[in-house]
A and B are shown apart, each in its own frame.
Chain A
Amino acid sequence: MTGTILEMRSIVKEFPGVKALDGVDLDVTQGEIHAICGENGAGKSTLMKVLSGVYPHGTYDGEIVFDGETAEFGTINDSEQRGIVIIHQELALVPYLSVAENIFLGNERRGRGGLIDWNAANAEAAKLLDRVGLHENPLTPVGTLGVGKQQLIEIAKALSKEVRLLILDEPTAALNDTDSEHLLELLRQLKAQGITSIIISHKLNEIAEIADRTTIIRDGRTIETIDMADPSSTQDRIIRGMVGRDLEHRFPERTSVVGDEVLRVEDWTVFHPTQPGRKIIDNASFHVRAGEVVGIAGLMGAGRTELAMSIFGRSYGKNITGRLYKNGTEIQARSVAEAIDHHIAYATEDRKVYGLNLIDDIRHNITSAALGKLAPQGWVNGNEEIRVAEEYRRSLNVKTPDVLASVGKLSGGNQQKVVLSKWLYTDPDVLIVDEPTRGIDVGAKYEIYTIINKMVAAGKAVVIISSELPELLGTCDRIYTLAFGRITGELPVADATQERLMELMTLDRDQPLPTKELSA
């Protein structure tokens, strides 16, 4: 099973004014799992679009050799016919169609008279689902399944096309640990069946675990391709290659000066908005003090986002009971506007759907949560607005020529900085950030942590919700664990380890809570 299946030589791709790829070389060996690493904007996705024919032959320079033949793909169909299938970060499934219908979408098996034989299709879908280890009825509508399962359906879809080279763009970005683990295991099985994979990922531990070789791309150029079996191929080496500088510490240093309590949540209980009787948050209590970063660790479905959103002006849930105290006095925050008035801010985990108006410009997005500050009489001062936006662009280092550019065109890290700018402009005392570094690259992550540190240094309080435990351990003073809607533990960071946190995060509904390990 050796020999090169794919070779891309000095690929150059230019867009008006930007050189996205500037001589990338990539060679992939038959039957391996090959990782591609690079910061956002380094050119990974562009490279894959060149490979799969999204950018047709002739719009780029360089040569692609697939399976010993020069490949000149004009469309995605051309590359798929040769067995190259790409699974994008944003899944391309139709929620209202069944699993089987999705698997064969665009690739329908026609029977007699050109009509689709659904019995045969469903039977074949069942076989494919078995191959990817998904035990679901092929007739189930895709929209009722979780992201992890949808990802597996995408792979089943690829298998139905007799894939030889499978390309996965950030496959685990939206998955929880169990689902990620399952997916990686599946890739290993496919490898055993002779399917070559290219995986684009920001999760370096994942790459270390699964990849045979890794190609690092920076600024549209190949930096190096390393053999992961080589002991010198450490995560630090990859990071160094990606950012072009040493990242001695992935988390900026911070000395905490913890002050008085700013926000206290007591006996917070929240029910599901549409399923009566289903408790999403169960009697949760926690607090955060000035100058403190508090983490909330929980698995997907534990209710982390629901907890935060229900506190933030009851933007989630029904029949919410419990008390909120701000600086020691009880407050009401029945709407988002009231929460903002109490200087509570919440930066969502899904910036594209819940955080930003992507068709609008950076300026309007930054001021959208505190427009009143610019409009004392109800009329917005447009010049002052630009000044404010410019100020945040500079201080948070949003990489854009000017604040009138559309937010939709920014990279993930820069979009996240716009989201943070928007909330910083509301002048919050408590900032709740939900997965603040999801889907953004190492360099931008560091900048986001720096912004958070600046906030707490100014005496504000920050709550970080994250599924990445190293992130919580690296940034927080204290960490709460959340499992099935219950706060199951509270640990100062000095006592917390990934193992201890995971133990508390997986505490089942009927298991008794451990005796409190610390009183703050």
Chain B
Amino acid sequence: MNAIASARDLIARNLRQSGILVAFVVIVAIFALLNPMFLSPTNLTNIVLQYTYILILAIGMVMVIVAGQIDLSVGSVVALTGAVSAVVVIKNGAPWWMGVLAALVVGLLVGAWQGFWVAYVGIPGFIVTLAGMLLFRGLTYVVLDNISLSPFGGAYYDIANGFLNGLLGGYGVDTFTLLIFAIAVVGFAVAQWRSRQSRIAYQQTVESMPLFVVKLVVVAAVVMWFAYQLASSRGLPIVLIILAVLTIAYTLVTQKSVFGRHVYAVGGNLHAAQLSGVKVKKINFWIFVNMGFLASVAGIVYSSRVNSAQPSAGNMFELDAIAACFIGGASTSGGVGRVGGALIGGLIMAVLSNGMQLMGVPTSWQPIVKGLVLLLAVAFDIYNRRRAAALR
């Protein structure tokens, strides 16, 4: 069959994913037209620094949602892990990595606690994490003794505010940043090429050579343009490296690992998964442990970004993360959703917040716009899915 897929086939096949990408591009274009500052190097850098924690949460949340559960506690867990880290670093003067370690351990413990109730006691995740939302918020107050702790400073502050730059010099444009991105682009191209060769070896449909090259060139151009913007501002943000590592790792885990596939199986049909030998309890348990882990990473990034730990930190973060997943095409009934989709969903939320702030939209209007966008994005997605179904 070794057929060559046309551009139209590819679009039809990927409509579910590409629909939301189109929406993202449209939103970016609108803001860019309304305010030329939006795509400036400084602002792009700011978006990366400011909203990474939502993207990190969205990665974990999409796996929870795919498994057919929900996690309402992540905002509180962000606060708690940040607080623990602050107590270790600020109060006790321990080195930055001790704070990071403590936060991660707390995140894993929280995840194991919630996973235990969901998987082994059989309480729905909605209820366990609703309880957790209160529980961990309360614990945050206890840990912080009702006061904010600041500042972290030093290396801990650099996690979310620092840059890698100047290592190779450059005149106004950081060569090191460009080099890292160039390596990433080449790596991406090689991976795509190898995947294409392997598909051909298995006699599967691949896109035609010109289309393949065009795709790579477009991706490379967009990425390198973005790299140039970063390089001409302050260089490569450290959080971006963290986010990139997480993105690659979790895309692989969800799409290629046995564990990831079992998550989809459990969310798609629990009974069928059980009768296919999937250890459903184990999957549910680890899903929540993983969410706890990522919530603590987000907690570290967020506390570092604001350079403090506050009792009310992370309020409503869970809703941003959940919205990101649903905007990104996850299904409320489980079994459907992708890390890539959730990231684009998270970016839409981030770009909306940033764009509106930049334009001076009153704070009272910002949630209204976000709410409408969530509704419209999902409506658009449903419409696209129907069209994709009709095209098949």
Contacts and interface: CB of A to CB of B under 8 A. Distances in A.
A115 B265 CA distance: 46
B276 interface: yes
B22 interface: no
Contacts of B257: 375, 378-380
Given A359-B268, A359-B335, A383-B201, A371 B258 contact: yes
Contacts of B201: 383
Contacts of B269: 353, 356-359
A94 interface: no
A463 to B, nearest CB: 16
B335 A369 contact: no
Interface size class of B (residues with CB under 8 A): 20 to 34
A357 B256 contact: no
Most buried by B among A346, A348, A372, A382: A382
B202 A387 contact: yes
Interface stretch (A195-203, A333-341, A495-503): A333-341
A368 B265 contact: yes
Contact of A379 (B256, B276, B391): B256
Interface in B180-211: 198-199, 201-202, 204
A368 B258 contact: no
Interface string A450-489: 0000000000000000000000000000000000000000
A356 B272 contact: yes
A194 to B, nearest CB: 43
Interface string B258-302: 110110110011011111111100000000000000000000000
Interface residues of A, number: 35
Nearest to A350: B271
A294 B23 CA distance: 58
B275 A336 contact: yes
B277 A359 contact: no
Contact of B275 (A346, A364, A372, A382): A346
A354 B272 contact: yes
Interface string B332-345: 00011000000000
Contacts of A160: none
B261 A386 contact: no
Contacts of A372: 258
Nearest to B260: A380
A507 B331 CA distance: 49
A279 to B, nearest CB: 23
B277 A336 contact: yes
B276 A422 contact: yes
B258 A380 contact: yes
Interface string A351-381: 0011111111000100011011001001110
B390 interface: yes
A148 B121 CA distance: 34
B392 interface: yes
Given A336-B277, A383-B198, A353 B271 contact: yes
Contacts of A359: 268-269, 331, 335-336
A506 interface: no
Nearest to B336: A359
A346 B271 CA distance: 13
Interface in A393-431: 405, 422
A380 B256 contact: yes
A373 to B, nearest CB: 10
Most buried by B among A380, A387, A405: A380
A356 B336 CA distance: 15
Contacts of A382: 256
Nearest to B331: A359
A422 B272 CA distance: 11
A378 B275 contact: no
Contact of A336 (B264, B276, B335, B336): B276
Contacts of A348: 275
B281 to A, nearest CB: 11
A337 B279 CA distance: 8
A411 to B, nearest CB: 16
Most buried by A among B252, B273, B276, B331: B276
Contact of A375 (B202, B204, B258, B331): B258
Contacts of B204: 383, 386
A357 B275 contact: no
Given A380-B261, A382-B256, A383-B201, A313 B268 contact: no
Interface in B244-259: 252, 256-259
B277 A364 contact: no
Interface string B19-30: 000000000000
B279 A368 contact: no
A45 interface: no
Contacts of A364: 261, 264-265
A267 interface: no
A383 B258 contact: no
Nearest to A372: B258
B70 to A, nearest CB: 18
A55 to B, nearest CB: 15
A425 to B, nearest CB: 11
A133 B199 CA distance: 62
Contact of A360 (B264, B275, B392): B264
Contacts of B390: 16
Nearest to B271: A354
A360 B269 CA distance: 9
A402 B60 CA distance: 32
Nearest to B333: A359
Given A368-B273, A372-B258, A380-B256, A357 B279 contact: no
A29 interface: no
A356 B271 CA distance: 9
B276 A369 contact: yes
A384 B331 CA distance: 28
Given A380-B258, A380-B261, A387-B202, A357 B272 contact: yes
Interface in A117-153: none
Lowest 6 A-B CB distances belong to which pairs?
A357-B268, A383-B202, A369-B276, A337-B277, A336-B277, A357-B269
20 contacts: A335-B277, A335-B279, A336-B274, A339-B277, A353-B269, A357-B335, A358-B269, A359-B268, A364-B265, A368-B261, A368-B265, A368-B272, A369-B277, A375-B258, A378-B257, A380-B257, A380-B261, A383-B199, A387-B202, A422-B276
Given A357-B273, A378-B257, 20 more contacts: A313-B277, A315-B274, A337-B277, A337-B279, A353-B272, A355-B275, A356-B269, A359-B335, A360-B265, A360-B268, A368-B261, A371-B261, A378-B259, A379-B252, A379-B256, A379-B257, A383-B198, A383-B201, A383-B202, A386-B204
Interface of B: 198-199, 201-202, 204, 252, 256-259, 261-262, 264-265, 268-269, 271-279, 331, 335-336, 390-392
Interface of A: 16, 312-313, 315, 335-337, 339-340, 346, 348, 353-360, 364, 368-369, 371-372, 375, 378-380, 382-384, 386-387, 405, 422
